[in-house]
């Protein structure tokens, strides 16, 4: 009779275990970077450029130095004497730490002040006088390559234009042939507006250089502490073993907290010079105007179609605006991230993509917002294109997708751009979604409402997403392979600690990694503590972003648990006085195959590892595993949104939102659902109200929360989530796939498609996000597409 433990009861896979991290957060006892005070700590504030493109004629900081309480004023010139005015980026470019010759975007860091408290530091910043000579401004890719455009990066030898890269992938010849065969060609051009991850907590660091020990400790809002340690070693020319990066609790990341920001570097230098801890916490305006933005990409594509609806080929071109420095954190082989994952959902034989990246006078970035390296753009374009193509063919939106889906029996499936998708049941998910939204019923309701002048609409978005970068053959950042590791130590009483190189910012790793160990070893999850974030103790990892942690770090946790179990098996055999071949495992226990009542618990094995080892065995029960994922994982989702649009005002309301997510095995269903709802809300924000834009002078609109709008509980719709379809990942040790970004990736198109569906009688084919009321109204009233970002100011 089985004595296996009840996996749900002990908090293994599938348990909606309540979160461990909550215990401190609900008490207000979180430990965020700004909560930390070190003895003798000073405070740093940054002076930013008001202009988007200008030569710096002079900087006079004398009045700042005179303010009581000011300890240090840093300028680009001072940084340059230490070779720190510029730093390498994660994309093989360079980025200014403090401006020397020119400022290249509004909000760029020009100087910083370190003082007794931030109020004084701010006073001193205001006392710094900078003389600028304005230069012409570039705010989009078209301007960047126009004749006579000023070269923004004239600091780079050999840079004669504003083009950063030209890149292509796919089969141009095959795609051309496919288009020649087409009965119908659908075209779509769109702009995915500039957006910003904007977690509520801003970025910051406390740098603490200890002259006595020569050790630099930096507390930092970073999603990737080991990458930072390497970057600091490189930039500051300090030895890697004398650098300790501690990422304490993080108030949201979403990709914003991956790059290396000038503020971090300045705080480190200041601490080294002053030999005191220096804290820098930016304000929200600084965060929005200067840190890693996302998207701002122009997509132009065509789809070749047979008249029965079969997709024969796809062509895409994109122009991506990277701002003043190419600083994206993305796998180095792929200049435009994983944009070429587009159309992976469908069985399409030929595709070709070209991409051009350009500089502009805006903050640096492009990849940084719950996007898994531009998969947001890829899937948005995919689903917007699918909608347009279905309309062009006169086909039903669901039927068109269904007939082109990769079929269940086609996995693993090679996409036209060369990815290998792992598993899925796409049609089944679509069925679940359509049933949940009562598709037929809605179409009847929609037709009826139209007779009374009411505009109802339904939008579908189906997507698969490459998550879990990534295999060492293809994926690296600055040459460093993207593996992750986990260290597991089981103590003598059977309690354990697991550490990984991931760094959660709300995903619940302290809860879920323990669940994986629990699943593998039968140790109750409550007996396992999880630690992340301190490079002195955490095994190496490339950090948590791009939904990579469950696929990679989570896999490492499973693998190290299996190493432990393998050793425990040997200990069990020794304790049971049988050979290893006679030992069986059930959750929490080894037993003798021929005499199942005779067994030992995992806890007894642990004790034996310290007190009763077989001859020749190393004592202890601790290990580390390093996981190089064989492939990415590919979750699938169907998002269906129904809306009502007020034709008089252009305001649209969500009536219902159904989400069907298949992310393989769910470690903690409650946490998975939380991630989906968060992503759907960010998708809603992007579709509805959230954007950053610039006027002709490069002034940024959307650099504070009055203009950069996040929805509140009042506007945000409710969500109906479905988890019936579970297709395990065939190559992941516990069959799990990533999930964190799926809804942010697939969600926006569902909302946009719904509004356009409501407007279908007007013939409007595209409204670029955000679908602000005035833009929807313009589309309805003039029966025309509305393109581009909202204009800033034009007096008429």
Partner 1 sequence: MYPSRFRYEAPRSLAEAIGLLHDNGDDAKVLAGGQSLVPLMKLRFASPGLIVDINNIPGLDYHRTDPDGTLRIGALCRHVHLEHSDLLKTSQPTMAAAAPLIADPIVRNRGTLVGSLCHADPQGDWASVVLALGGSVVARGPNGMRSIPLGDFVTGPFQNVLAPDEIAVEAVIPAAQGTRAGGYLKLERRVGDFATVGVAVALEMSGETVTRAGIALTGVGGSTIAARAAGDALTGRPLTAESIGHAADLAAEAARPRTDHRGSAEYKRHMVRTFVTRLLRRAEPAAERAA
Partner 2 sequence: MIIIEEEPAGSGVEIPVRRITFTVNGQKKTAEVEPRLLLAHLIRRGLGLTGTHMGCDTTNCGACTVLVDGRPVKSCTMLAVQADGHEIGTVEGLATASELHPLQEGFKEEHGLQCGFCTPGMMLAAKALLDANPDPTEEEVRWALSGNLCRCTGYQNIVKSVLWAAAKLRSEGA
Q: Which residues bind partner 1 (CB under 8 A)?
A: 118-119, 122-123, 126, 283, 648-651, 688-689, 693, 701-702, 706-707, 709-712, 714-715, 772-774, 777-778, 781, 790-796
Q: State which of residues 26, 447, 595, 617 lies at the interface with partner 2 (CB under 8 A).
A: 26
Work out whether strand 102-103 and strand 54-60 pair parallel, antiparallel, or are unpaired.
antiparallel
Which C-beta is closer to partner 1: that of 101 or that of 648?
648
| Shortest separation between residue 380's beta carbon and partner 2, angstroms | 19
Q: Return the structure tokens found at 140.
A: 């989009």
| Shortest separation between residue 127's beta carbon and partner 2, angstroms | 14
Task: Tell whether residue 722 is a contact of partner 2 (CB under 8 A).
Answer: no
Contact string 479-518 vs partner 2 (x = CB under 8 A): --------------------------xxxx----------
Concatenating the DSSP letter of every residue in 521-538 gives: H---GGGEEEEESBTTTS
Backbone torsions φ then ψ of 28, nearest 5 degrees: 75, 25
Please report, as residue ranges, which positions from 227 to 266 form the binding site for partner 2 (by CB under 8 A). Answer: 249-254
Q: Using CB distances below 5 to 8 A depending on partner kind, what does residue 420 bind out of partner 2, partner 1, none?
A: none
Task: Tell whether residue 65 is a contact of partner 2 (CB under 8 A).
Answer: no
Q: Using CB distances below 5 to 8 A depending on partner kind, what does residue 412 bind out of partner 1, partner 2, none?
A: none
Q: State which of residues 520, 673, 741, 768 lies at the interface with partner 2 (CB under 8 A).
A: 673
Q: State which of residues 273, 420, 710, 792 lies at the interface with partner 2 (CB under 8 A).
A: 710
Span from 16-24, 178-186, 373-381, 397-405 in contact with partner 2 (CB under 8 A): 16-24
**Catalytic site residue from 370, 548, 589, 765:** 370
Is 223 among the residues known to form the active site? yes
**Catalytic site residue from 125, 203, 371, 663:** 371
- Coil, strand, or helix at residue 292? coil
Contact string 177-206 vs partner 2 (x = CB under 8 A): ---------------------xxxxx----
- The 8-class DSSP code of residue 261 comes to P
Report the distance separating Cα 450 and Cα 762, nearest Å.
12
How many chain residues touch partner 2 (CB under 8 A)?
A: 64
Q: Using CB distances below 5 to 8 A depending on partner kind, what does residue 649 bind out of partner 2, partner 1, none?
A: partner 1
Contacts of 725 (CB under 8 A, 6+ apart): 425, 428, 429, 432, 660, 662
Q: State which of residues 705, 761, 774, 781 lies at the interface with partner 2 (CB under 8 A).
A: 705
Identify any residues that bridge with 786 across adjacent strands, giving them in sequence order.
767
Q: Using CB distances below 5 to 8 A depending on partner kind, what does residue 673 bind out of partner 2, partner 1, none?
A: partner 2
Stated as kind and residue range, the H or E segment containing 735 is none
Backbone torsions φ then ψ of 476, nearest 5 degrees: -160, 160
Please report, as residue ranges, which positions from 442 to 461 form the binding site for partner 2 (by CB under 8 A). Answer: none
| Shortest separation between residue 320's beta carbon and partner 1, angstroms | 22
Q: Using CB distances below 5 to 8 A depending on partner kind, what does residue 620 bind out of partner 1, partner 2, none?
A: none
Which C-beta is closer to partner 1: that of 118 or that of 674?
118
Task: Tell whether residue 155 is a contact of partner 2 (CB under 8 A).
Answer: no
Which C-beta is closer to partner 1: that of 425 or that of 690?
690
Task: Tell whether residue 712 is a contact of partner 2 (CB under 8 A).
Answer: yes
**Catalytic site residue from 374, 741, 742, 775:** 741
Which C-beta is closer to partner 2: that of 173 or that of 713?
713
CA 779 to chain centre: 32
Strands (E), 135-264: 163-170, 184-195, 204-210, 215-220, 243-246
Q: Return the structure tokens found at 281.
A: 């916490």
Concatenating the DSSP letter of every residue in 463-519 gives: EE--BS---TTT-EETTEE--EEEEEEE-TTS-EEEEES---SSS-HHHHHHHHHHH
User: Token match 């370190």: residue?
Assistant: 114
Task: Tell whether residue 423 is a contact of partner 2 (CB under 8 A).
Answer: no
Report the distance separating Cα 780 and Cα 763, nearest Å.
9
Contact string 83-122 vs partner 2 (x = CB under 8 A): ---------------------------------xx-xx--
Report the distance separating Cα 316 and Cα 308, nearest Å.
22
- Cβ-contact 250, 257 below 8 angstroms: yes
Among candidates 708, 759, 595, 778, which has minimal Cα distance to 198? 708
How far CA 722 is from CA of 187, 245, 389, 552, 657, in Å, comes to: 33, 40, 28, 25, 11
Report the distance separating Cα 129 and Cα 57, nearest Å.
11
Report the distance separating Cα 273 and Cα 216, nearest Å.
12
Report the distance separating Cα 549 and Cα 114, nearest Å.
36
| Shortest separation between residue 793's beta carbon and partner 1, angstroms | 5
Q: State which of residues 681, 693, 727, 766 lies at the interface with partner 2 (CB under 8 A).
A: 681
Is 690 among the residues known to form the active site? no
| Shortest separation between residue 198's beta carbon and partner 2, angstroms | 7
Report the distance separating Cα 317 and Cα 162, nearest Å.
18
Which C-beta is closer to partner 2: that of 660 or that of 680?
680
Contacts of 349 (CB under 8 A, 6+ apart): 174, 178, 312, 313, 416
Is 793 among the residues known to form the active site? no
Concatenating the DSSP letter of every residue in 346-373 gives: B--SEEEEEEEEE--SS-SEE--SSSTT
**Catalytic site residue from 223, 330, 603, 690:** 223
Cα angle 688-258-165, degrees, rounded to a multiple of 5: 80
Task: Tell whether residue 35 is a contact of partner 2 (CB under 8 A).
Answer: yes
Which C-beta is closer to partner 1: that of 173 or that of 706?
706
Task: Tell whether residue 39 is a contact of partner 2 (CB under 8 A).
Answer: no
| Shortest separation between residue 647's beta carbon and partner 1, angstroms | 10
Q: Using CB distances below 5 to 8 A depending on partner kind, what does residue 677 bind out of partner 1, partner 2, none?
A: partner 2
Report the distance separating Cα 107 and Cα 293, nearest Å.
13
Identify any residues that bridge with 640 across adjacent strands, giving them in sequence order.
460, 658
Which C-beta is closer to partner 2: that of 35 or that of 580?
35
- Coil, strand, or helix at residue 625? strand
Span from 65-73, 300-308, 431-439, 549-557 in contact with partner 2 (CB under 8 A): 65-73
Among candidates 148, 232, 418, 286, which has minimal Cα distance to 704? 286
Report the distance separating Cα 271 and Cα 380, nearest Å.
44
Q: Using CB distances below 5 to 8 A depending on partner kind, what does residue 778 bind out of partner 1, partner 2, none?
A: partner 1
- Cβ-contact 386, 400 below 8 angstroms: yes
Task: Tell whether residue 219 is a contact of partner 2 (CB under 8 A).
Answer: no
| Shortest separation between residue 120's beta carbon and partner 1, angstroms | 9
Report the distance separating Cα 721 and Cα 667, nearest Å.
16
| Shortest separation between residue 116's beta carbon and partner 2, angstroms | 6
| Shortest separation between residue 776's beta carbon and partner 2, angstroms | 23
Q: Using CB distances below 5 to 8 A depending on partner kind, what does residue 337 bind out of partner 2, partner 1, none?
A: none
Report the distance separating Cα 47 and Cα 103, nearest Å.
12
Span from 175-183, 304-312, 482-490, 716-724 in contact with partner 2 (CB under 8 A): 716-724
Identify any residues that bridge with 700 across adjacent strands, giving them in sequence order.
694
Largest CA distance in the chain: 91
Task: Tell whether residue 368 is a contact of partner 2 (CB under 8 A).
Answer: no
| Shortest separation between residue 52's beta carbon and partner 1, angstroms | 17
Q: Using CB distances below 5 to 8 A depending on partner kind, what does residue 122 bind out of partner 2, partner 1, none?
A: partner 1
Report the distance separating Cα 57 and Cα 100, nearest Å.
10
Instruction: Give the residues lining the site for partner 2 (CB under 8 A).
Output: 18-19, 21-30, 32, 34-35, 37, 67-70, 116-117, 119-120, 198-202, 249-254, 281, 283-285, 505-508, 670-671, 673-675, 677-682, 704-706, 710, 712-714, 716, 718-719
Q: Which residues are catalytic?
A: 223, 370-371, 741
């Amino acid at each position: 009779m089985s004595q296996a433990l009840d996996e749900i009861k002990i908090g293994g896979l599938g348990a909606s275990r309540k979160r461990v991290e909550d215990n401190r957060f609900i008490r207000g006892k979180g430990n965020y970077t700004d909560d930390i005070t070190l003895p003798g700590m000073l405070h740093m504030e940054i002076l930013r450029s008001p202009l988007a493109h200008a030569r710096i004629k002079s900087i006079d900081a004398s009045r700042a130095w005179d303010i009581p309480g000011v300890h240090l004023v840093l300028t680009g010139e001072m940084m340059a004497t230490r070779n720190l005015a510029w730093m390498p980026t994660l994309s093989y470019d360079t980025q200014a730490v403090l401006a020397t010759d020119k400022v290249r975007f509004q909000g760029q860091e020009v100087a910083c002040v370190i003082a007794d408290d931030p109020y004084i530091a701010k006073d001193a910043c205001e006392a710094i006088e900078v003389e600028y000579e304005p230069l012409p401004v570039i705010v989009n890719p078209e301007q960047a390559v126009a004749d006579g455009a000023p070269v923004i990066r004239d600091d780079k030898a050999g840079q004669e234009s504003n083009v950063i890269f030209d890149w292509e992938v796919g089969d141009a010849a095959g795609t051309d042939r496919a288009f020649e065969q087409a009965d119908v060609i659908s075209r779509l051009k769109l702009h995915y507006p500039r957006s910003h991850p904007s977690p509520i907590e801003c970025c910051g660091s406390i740098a603490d250089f200890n002259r006595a020990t020569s050790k630099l400790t930096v507390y930092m809002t970073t999603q990737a502490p080991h990458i930072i340690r390497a970057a600091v070693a490189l930039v500051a020319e300090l030895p890697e073993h004398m650098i300790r990066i501690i990422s304490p609790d993080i108030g949201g990341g979403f990709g914003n907290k991956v790059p290396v920001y000038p503020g971090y570097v300045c705080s480190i230098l200041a601490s080294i010079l002053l030999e005191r801890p220096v804290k820098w916490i930016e304000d929200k305006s600084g965060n929005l105007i200067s840190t890693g933005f996302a998207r701002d990409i122009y997509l132009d594509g065509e789809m070749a179609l047979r008249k029965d609806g079969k997709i024969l080929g796809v062509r895409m071109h994109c122009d991506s605006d990277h701002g003043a420095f190419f600083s994206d954190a993305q796998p180095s082989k792929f200049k435009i991230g994983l944009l070429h994952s587009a159309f992976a959902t469908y069985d399409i034989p030929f595709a070709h993509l070209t991409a051009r990246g350009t500089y502009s006078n805006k903050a640096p970035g492009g990849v940084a917002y719950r996007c898994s390296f531009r998969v947001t753009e890829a899937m948005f374009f995919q689903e917007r294109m699918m909608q347009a193509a279905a309309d062009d063919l006169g086909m039903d939106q669901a039927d068109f997708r269904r007939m082109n889906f990769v079929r269940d029996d086609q996995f693993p499936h090679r996409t036209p751009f060369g990815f290998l998708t792992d598993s899925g049941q796409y049609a089944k998910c679509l069925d679940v979604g359509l049933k949940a939204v009562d598709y037929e019923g809605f179409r009847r309701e929609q037709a009826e409402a139209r007779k009374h002048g009411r505009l109802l609409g339904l939008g579908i978005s189906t997507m698969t997403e490459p998550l879990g970068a990534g295999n060492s053959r293809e994926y690296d950042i600055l040459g460093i392979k993207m593996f992750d590791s986990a260290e597991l130590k089981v103590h003598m009483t059977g309690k354990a600690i697991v550490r990984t190189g991931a760094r959660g910012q709300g995903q619940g790793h302290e809860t879920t990694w323990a669940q994986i160990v629990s699943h593998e070893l039968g140790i109750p999850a409550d007996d396992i503590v999880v630690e992340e974030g301190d490079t002195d103790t955490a095994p190496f990892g490339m950090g948590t972003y791009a939904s990579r942690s469950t696929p990679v770090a989570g896999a490492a946790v499973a693998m190290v648990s299996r190493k432990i179990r393998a050793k425990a098996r040997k200990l069990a055999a020794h304790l049971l006085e049988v050979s290893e071949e006679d030992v069986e495992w059930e959750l929490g226990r080894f037993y003798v195959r021929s005499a199942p009542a005779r067994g030992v618990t995992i806890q007894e094995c642990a004790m034996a590892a310290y007190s009763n080892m077989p001859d020749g065995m190393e004592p202890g029960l601790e290990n580390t595993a390093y996981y190089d994922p064989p492939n990415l994982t590919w979750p699938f989702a169907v998002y269906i949104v129904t809306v009502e649009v007020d034709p008089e005002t252009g305001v649209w309301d969500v009536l219902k939102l159904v989400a069907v997510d298949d992310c393989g095995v769910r470690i903690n269903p409650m946490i998975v659902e939380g991630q989906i709802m968060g992503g759907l809300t960010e998708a809603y924000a992007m579709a509805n109200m959230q954007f950053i834009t610039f006027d002709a002078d490069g002034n940024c609109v959307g650099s504070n929360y009055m203009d950069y709008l996040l929805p509140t509980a009042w506007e945000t719709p409710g969500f109906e989530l479905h988890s019936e379809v579970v297709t395990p990942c065939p190559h992941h040790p516990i069959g799990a796939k990533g999930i964190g970004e799926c809804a942010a990736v697939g969600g926006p198109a569902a909302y946009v498609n719904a509004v356009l569906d409501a407007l279908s009688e007007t013939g409007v084919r595209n409204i670029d996000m955000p679908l602000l009321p005035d833009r929807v109204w313009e589309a309805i009233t003039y029966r025309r597409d509305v393109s581009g970002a909202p204009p800033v100011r034009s007096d008429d």
